[in-house]
A and B are shown apart, each in its own frame.
Chain A
Amino acid sequence: TQLLEQSPQFLSIQEGENLTVYCNSSSVFSSLQWYRQEPGEGPVLLVTVVTGGEVKKLKRLTFQFGDARKDSSLHITAAQPGDTGLYLCAGAHSWGKLQFGAGTQVVVTP
């Protein structure tokens, strides 16, 4: 059972387009993290959001944490082929355990 629901499961877009990935849960987390995983590698942390309503920007990536700290979104502007990968959200509990969503596979074609 996935406590964190990610949508969509798969997204294929052209280079230059924008995309948004959603992460929803019925649980409240102390923080929420977004990772990107490429084939043959482990997930790599992109950002951690802690405060409800928080917005963080990482170049063309914008991350938002919901006011109730139950949901989050990742928006990519002008996507590039290098953005291709599996995007995972993970909710953190105070004792250290991370609960991962199933991931959104993003493919950006030139």
Chain B
Amino acid sequence: DSGVTQTPKHLITATGQRVTLRCSPRSGDLSVYWYQQSLDQGLQFLIQYYNGEERAKGNILERFSAQQFPDLHSELNLSSLELGDSALYFCASSVEGQGGNTIYFGEGSWLTVV
């Protein structure tokens, strides 16, 4: 158990819909990261927040957005879903936002778009 909690674990939704994935970081961790893992693209960095503010942006689509709340939990919002958005979405957290820090991954949220 990494201490990072993600909900829901699985969800199935139709194209065009919107979903929200939730992440609670490890206690004391200020930085939250979102990653997307699919068979053809591997593990892709989406976005990072540090203490409520966006720190770095990766391959995140405009249809996707995220935020980190004052209590440090984070949400990833996926809208106008397409079949290709089906993937495993990971949240990870670390104490700081600097490279080389140990980051801890949650168990992921499986999204299937039908």
Q: Which A residues have a C-beta under 8 Å from some C-beta of B? A: 2, 29-31, 33, 40-45, 48, 50, 88, 90, 92-103
Contact = CB atoms under 8 A, between A and B. Distances in A.
B82 interface: no
B105 A96 contact: no
Chain A contact residues: helix, strand, loop or mixed: loop
A90 B103 CA distance: 11
13 contacts: A29-B99, A41-B108, A42-B2, A42-B4, A45-B103, A48-B100, A90-B43, A92-B99, A96-B33, A96-B48, A97-B48, A100-B42, A103-B43
A98 B102 contact: no
A19 B55 CA distance: 38
Contacts of A99: 45
A96 B98 contact: yes
Nearest to A91: B99
B72 to A, nearest CB: 16
A44 B56 contact: no
A38 to B, nearest CB: 11
Contacts of B33: 96, 98
Interface string B36-59: 000000111100101000011010
Contacts of B68: none
A73 B92 CA distance: 24
Interface in B100-114: 100-108
A25 to B, nearest CB: 14
B44 to A, nearest CB: 8
A2 B98 CA distance: 22
A33 to B, nearest CB: 8
Contact of A95 (B4, B56, B94): B56
Given A31-B99, A42-B4, A50-B100, A97 B107 contact: no
Given A30-B99, A42-B105, A96 B42 contact: no
Contacts of B102: 45, 48
